[in-house]
């Protein structure tokens, strides 16, 4: 939400007096109030965590089908996209949750060939965090909630900085804290890089884990590789054990098929002999040389032999079905193993992207704590004023805007709290130049 910066009247008058300006009593005073733009629907961005669920109405069965394979929580990566199973990578940055849900449903319908468009619901589980830095008790990263203002964000950071003689200077604590956070993120990044190399080796069925280029000069890299290799060997042993058990089961059914084939061959010969004997006895009965009871007995014997022959054939078909099932199980075990590896690689890539952003932020906090120390040492005895800034966006697209206590904060914003000393001129007050750039021509005349 865009906010028009405001210079409070006492601050403006004091600043004008400091630079030697005198104001006649009859000059009217115009107070600039913040102009809040109309509320905009929230748009997604990197580090937003979403929960996705999709259902489809199947009229032929008169029931809803739950696409559980797609249900879950997903995080928008630094590239602004989300990877979903079956669907692939979808852009998310700049879209509302309704727009993203419609995009998921439309692509799923097209790729799955569904006649009726499924219903997709997307909700934000966790907004991307904000960062509060500067003259606060605890600089760092904080969870965002809708409706958060600058003053509330400062409250999350422990309020304005309060210097006491009983504790070390704030900038020293900030530097130690930021340095520790940076080191934790660096160690985690190193571990994830080795894990990604191990997963890549597993994916191509090789035992060689290549050390990433980023860790070529890291003396601890061989130990990390050794730990990951032990994990990889354990996973491969587990897969081989399952495949071996499945192979033994398959061999048992193959042996059963061989035995059944031999039984069927013997049974077939017995059926042939019984049929010949039946024909002979039938001829003797027709000539009156044998009694009909004998013909009945041989016919019953032939029926029993043919029934047993059918049982053997059915058993062999069942055994062959079990062989096919064992072969499919082996294929599924290998496919599941590969699928889990691919999923873990995607998770590692997402974590590495998040750690990269965290490293950049903590490095900035370390630099700030180191650079602001001399200024605080000089200004701690002088009267100071609080100035608020909001830095929105990253890189070349970042904008720095003056704010007040009631300015709304958006996810991903950096809230910066600075001190302005009494001896600074109006143009040295943080936010003055930004205010001139934001005001319209008439308001510039008033400020001037």
Give 235-256 as a DSSP string: HHHHHHHHHHHHHHHHHHHHHH
- Spatial contact of 117 and 106, defined as CB atoms under 8 Å apart: yes
Q: How many alpha carbons fall within 13 Å on the CB side of residue 130?
A: 27
pLDDT recorded at residue 163: 65
Which conformational region is residue 205 in: left (phi greater than 0), alpha (psi within -120 to 50 degrees), or beta?
left
H/E stretch holding 174 = helix 170-203
Tracing tokens 């009945």 back to the chain, one arrives at 296
Q: 62-66, 103-107, 391-395 — which is least confidently predicted?
A: 391-395
In this predicted structure, what is the pLDDT of residue 400?
Answer: 87
Mean pLDDT of 230-243: 90
Residue pLDDT, tens place only, 172-222: 777 788 788 888 888 898 899 999 999 999 888 888 888 888 888 888 888
Least confident of 26-35, 297-306, 439-448: 439-448
pLDDT of 435 reads 37
Give Cβ neighbours of residue 422 (< 8 Å, ≥ 6 apart).
14, 18, 382, 383, 384, 385
Chain centroid to CA 129: how far?
A: 15
Report the candidate in 388, 359, 419 with the shortest Cα–Cα distance to residue 170: 419
Give me the pLDDT at residue 325, please: 92
Residues 272-291 pLDDT 10s: 998 888 888 888 888 877 77
Q: At what angle do helices 170-203 and 292-379 cross, to 10 degrees?
A: 150
Whether pTM exceeds 0.85: no
Residue 313 has pLDDT above 50, yes or no: yes
Tokens 């669907």 belong to: 87
**pLDDT, averaged across the chain:** 79
């Amino acid at each position: 939400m865009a906010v028009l910066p405001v210079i409070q009247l006492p601050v403006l008058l004091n600043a004008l007096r400091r630079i030697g300006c005198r104001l006649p009593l009859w000059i009217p005073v115009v107070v600039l109030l913040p102009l809040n733009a109309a509320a905009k629907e929230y748009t997604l961005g990197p580090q937003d965590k979403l929960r996705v669920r999709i259902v489809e109405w199947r009229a032929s069965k008169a029931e809803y089908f739950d696409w559980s394979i797609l249900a879950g929580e997903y995080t928008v990566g630094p590239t602004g996209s989300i990877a979903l199973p079956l669907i692939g990578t979808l852009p998310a940055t700049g879209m509302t949750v309704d727009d993203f849900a419609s995009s998921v449903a439309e692509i799923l319908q097209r790729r799955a060939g569904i006649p009726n468009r499924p219903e997709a619901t997307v909700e934000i589980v966790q907004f991307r965090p904000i960062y509060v830095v500067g003259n606060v008790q605890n600089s760092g990263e904080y969870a965002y909630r809708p409706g958060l203002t600058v003053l509330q964000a400062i409250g999350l950071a422990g309020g304005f900085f309060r210097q006491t003689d009983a504790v070390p200077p704030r900038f020293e604590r900030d530097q130690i804290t930021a340095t520790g956070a940076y080191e934790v993120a660096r160690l985690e990044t190193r571990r994830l890089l080795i894990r990604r190399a191990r997963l890549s080796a597993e994916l191509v069925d090789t035992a060689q884990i290549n050390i990433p280029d980023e860790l070529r000069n890291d003396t601890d890299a061989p130990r990390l590789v050794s730990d990951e290799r032990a994990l990889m060997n354990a996973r491969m042993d587990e897969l081989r054990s399952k495949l071996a058990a499945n192979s033994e089961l398959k061999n048992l059914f193959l042996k059963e098929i061989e035995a059944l084939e031999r039984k069927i061959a013997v049974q077939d010969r017995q059926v042939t002999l019984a049929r010949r004997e039946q024909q002979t006895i039938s001829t003797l009965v027709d000539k009156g040389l044998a009694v009909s009871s004998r013909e009945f007995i041989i016919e019953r014997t032939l029926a029993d032999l043919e029934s047993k022959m059918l049982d053997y054939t059915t058993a062999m078909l069942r055994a062959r079905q079990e062989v096919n099932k064992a072969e499919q199980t082996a294929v599924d075990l290998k496919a599941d193993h590969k699928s889990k590896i691919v999923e873990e690689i995607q998770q590692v890539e997402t974590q590495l992207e998040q750690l990269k952003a965290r490293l950049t932020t903590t490095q900035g906090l370390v630099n700030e704590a180191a650079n602001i120390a001399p200024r605080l040492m000089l200004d701690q005895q002088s009267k100071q004023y609080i100035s608020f800034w909001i830095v929105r966006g990253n890189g070349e697209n970042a904008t720095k805007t003056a704010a007040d206590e009631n300015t709304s904060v958006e996810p991903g914003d950096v809230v910066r709290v600075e001190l302005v000393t009494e001896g600074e001129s109006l143009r040295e007050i943080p936010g003055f130049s930004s205010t001139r750039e934001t005001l319209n021509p008439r308001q510039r005349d008033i400020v001037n």
